[in-house]
């Protein structure tokens, strides 16, 4: 498991640049990150945009719901560093050798996201995730079987509470478990690994927690502090840039 450890730059790493901004992703890749994590929202004209909140207000100089604006509107928004939001296709094209964990934040973005992945031929280098089981089921149904998905919270609960011999996914099931760091215990890891399910912890920014999780045998960590996580992984022989 350790040789396949995944270090994820959460929204690019907001400790160095505004979250989900081009500079945040560039900084993480320059550190050697091979996995980025981000979120997707849809515009009113069906463009998958790299953005976390349903509204633009918190992170840009523009107000309003992303889904109620066209891409031509959204592209004019500016982060505090003067940069604008990215389309999913732009992020994929900027880093063709980097993989991306994509959180489908709403039902409206599923089709635009899958269309973008199809056009980019990027199925092999993404992991699709969502808090909504319905959205994940739609993605699994429409995407090629080779695409990786993680478990929704409902699927995490099912995996935690169902005896392994009785666990049956409704359709193609998740390939990973992505959970809050507080969920991760030795027993939880043992159970997941017995079912060949790697476990990623989010969102971890404290060095002591990073060290504890690494020593427990977690398979991946998402962080807003990519340089810090890189240094800790290096000290444990787990950094593979």
Active site residues: 10, 52
Tell me 55's DSSP state: B
Q: How far is CA 161 from CA 114, 181, 183, 201, in A?
A: 31, 18, 13, 19
Percent of residues in the chain assigned helix, strand, coil, to nearest 5: 40, 20, 40
Q: How far apart are CA 35 and CA 101, in angstroms?
A: 7
Q: How far apart are CA 116 and CA 152, in angstroms?
A: 22
Residues 105, 108, 114, 120: is their CA dihedral positive or negative?
Answer: negative
User: Which residues are bridge partners to 28 per DSSP?
Assistant: none
Cβ atoms within 10 Å, residue 57: 13
């Amino acid at each position: 498991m350790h040789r396949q450890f995944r270090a994820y730059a959460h929204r690019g790493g907001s400790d160095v640049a505004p979250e989900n901004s081009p500079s945040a992703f560039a900084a993480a890749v320059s550190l050697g990150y091979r996995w980025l994590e981000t979120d997707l929202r849809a515009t009113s004209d069906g463009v998958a945009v790299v953005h976390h909140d349903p509204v633009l207000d918190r992170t840009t100089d523009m107000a309003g719901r992303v889904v109620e604006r066209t891409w031509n509107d959204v592209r004019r928004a500016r982060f505090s560093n003067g940069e604008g939001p990215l389309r999913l296709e732009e992020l994929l094209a900027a880093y063709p050798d980097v993989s991306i964990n994509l959180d489908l934040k709403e039902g409206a973005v599923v089709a635009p996201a899958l269309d973008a992945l199809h056009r980019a031929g990027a199925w092999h280098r993404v992991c699709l995730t969502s808090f909504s089981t319905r959205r994940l089921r739609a993605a699994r149904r429409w995407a090629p079987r080779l695409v990786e998905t993680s478990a929704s919270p409902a699927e995490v609960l099912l995996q935690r509470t169902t005896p392994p011999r009785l666990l049956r996914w409704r359709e193609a099931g998740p390939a990973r478990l992505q959970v809050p760091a507080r969920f991760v215990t030795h027993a939880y890891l043992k159970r997941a690994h017995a079912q060949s399910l790697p476990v990623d912890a989010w969102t971890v920014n404290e060095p002591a927690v990073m060290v504890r999780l690494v020593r427990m045998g977690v398979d991946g960590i998402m962080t807003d502090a990519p340089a810090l996580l890189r240094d800790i992984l290096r000290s444990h022989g787990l950094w593979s840039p």
